[in-house]
Chain A
Amino acid sequence: MRLAAFLFFVLLALAGPARAVEPGEMLANPVLEARARAIGKELRCLVCQNESIDDSNADLAHDLRVLLRERLVAGDTDAQAIQYIVDRYGQFVLLKPPVEPATYVLWFGPLALLLVAGAGTVFYLRRHRPEAMEVSAPLSADERQRIDRLLGEGDA
């Protein structure tokens, strides 16, 4: 019984989410269909906004998948098909934003921050590291005697 329950949950965890691409939408040409799948994963569903049109069950996602396949069948390159949808919905439709001047902050901002913070840390640590060669003044005879007395207290 325990094992059955265990297996049930393991299998449940392994089950992937159902693909939203419906059999009726698929192209007979496997090469074109594969290209459509690859592009569909990169395009955002405008309704759910955090799923690709390939994963979404929204009506608009379905329409865009069909439209995308039509463009590919009509002979569009991948870039042309993507541009066709970007022209209508803007760059937000791309799940992966393109690297261009407007998105430099997005792409390189974290790295720049890391470099600045790293440089700052190195700079700070360098300046505040205790000098290795700096040895405190040797104990005077008086101090040594006092220490000897304190340490020696137990077995005196």
Chain B
Amino acid sequence: MRRALFLLPVALFMVLVAYFWAALHTDRDPHELPSAMIDKPAPTFALTGLDGAPGLDHAAFGGQVTLVNFFASWCVPCRVEAPLLAGISEDLKAPLYGIAYKDKPADTADYLKELGNPYQRIGLDESGRVGIDFGVYGVPETYVIDKAGRIRLRFVGPLTAAALANQLKPLIAKLDHS
């Protein structure tokens, strides 16, 4: 009994060591924040479109699983994920909507002309207010919205093939069948 008492601090220390070790050895980026919007309905909004094209509003969500990607012409990592976005809608069998975050419409148009337009619909969020309503804290961010119009996943930073295969695809397959 007394020996056990003496070992208690050692045991506590080992728990701490295990905790720190685990925290150091994950792929998790400590700057990446959990979203407060998970499982909440997508915010209510209505954005104008580019060059007279229909814009984007919250009515576009629901009924089927949808993807929303926040991007900007001034955003360098957005260029990194652009090739991946090109085929993502077909690959995941879900519409991909774009929200141009704090960008000038002319710059957005140039950006899409240069890199191609992967989006079925685009909304212009020049003030960044819709971004704030989604809890965006940097572009690019990609959201998965389920059939009921609730936000189910936020991916921060440029999408990668690994994230697509390990996170988005399984989740969308699950949401499709629910």
Contacts of A88 in B (CB 8 A): 36-37, 132-135
Residues of B40-85 at the interface with A, using a CB-CB cut-off of 8 Å, are: none
Known: A46-B137, A49-B31, A60-B137. A87 touches B132 (CB 8 A): no
| CB of A53, distance to nearest CB on chain B (Å) | 12
Docked-complex contact A47 and B132, CB < 8 angstroms: no
Q: Is the CB of B128 within 8 A of A63?
A: yes
Asked if B170 is an interface residue, CB under 8 A from chain A, the answer is: no
A117 to B, closest residue via Cβ: B9
Contact (Cβ within 8 A) B102 A90: no
A47 & B138 in contact (Cβ 8 Å cutoff):
yes
Q: In the assembled complex, which residues on chain A have CB atoms less than 8 Å from the CB atom of B134?
A: 88
In contact, A87 and B36 (Cβ under 8 angstroms): yes
1/0 per position for B135-147, CB-CB distance to A under 8 A? 1011000000000
- Distance between Cα atoms of A86 and B33 in the complex (Å): 13
Residue on A nearest B133 in the bound complex, by CB: A88
A90 and B138 form a contact (CB under 8 A): no
Set of chain B residues within 8 Å of A67, measured between Cβ atoms: 129, 132
Bound complex: CA A89 to CA B137 (Å): 9
Chain B contact residues, majority secondary structure: loop
Size of interface on A: residues with Cβ below 8 Å to B: 15
In chain A between 84 and 100, which residues have their CB closer than 8 angstroms to a CB of chain B? 86-92
Bound-state CA distance A90–B31 (Å) is 14
Q: Which residues of A contact B116 (CB under 8 A)?
A: none
Which residues does chain B contribute within 8 Å of A90, judged by CB atoms? 33-36, 135
Report how far A92 CA is from B137 CA in the complex, Å.
Answer: 12
> Does A59 have its Cβ within 8 Å of any Cβ on chain B?
yes
Does A26 interact with chain B (Cβ within 8 Å)? no
A123 to B23, CA, bound (A): 34
Question: A72 an interface residue at 8 Å Cβ cutoff?
Answer: no
Q: Which of B33, B34, B132, B138 contacts A63 (CB 8 A)?
A: B132
* Residue of B34, B36, B102, B133 touching A59 (CB-CB under 8 A): B102
Shortest 8 CB-CB contacts between residues of A and residues of B = A90-B36, A46-B137, A88-B135, A63-B128, A89-B135, A89-B36, A92-B33, A60-B137
Report B's interface with A, CB cutoff 8 A.
Answer: 31, 33-37, 102, 127-129, 132-135, 137-138
List residues of A whose CB falls within 8 A of some B CB: 46-47, 49, 59-60, 63-64, 67, 86-92
Q: List 21 A-B contacts (CB under 8 A).
A: A46-B137, A47-B138, A49-B31, A59-B128, A60-B132, A60-B138, A63-B129, A67-B129, A86-B36, A88-B36, A88-B132, A88-B133, A88-B134, A89-B33, A89-B36, A89-B137, A90-B34, A90-B36, A91-B36, A92-B33, A92-B34
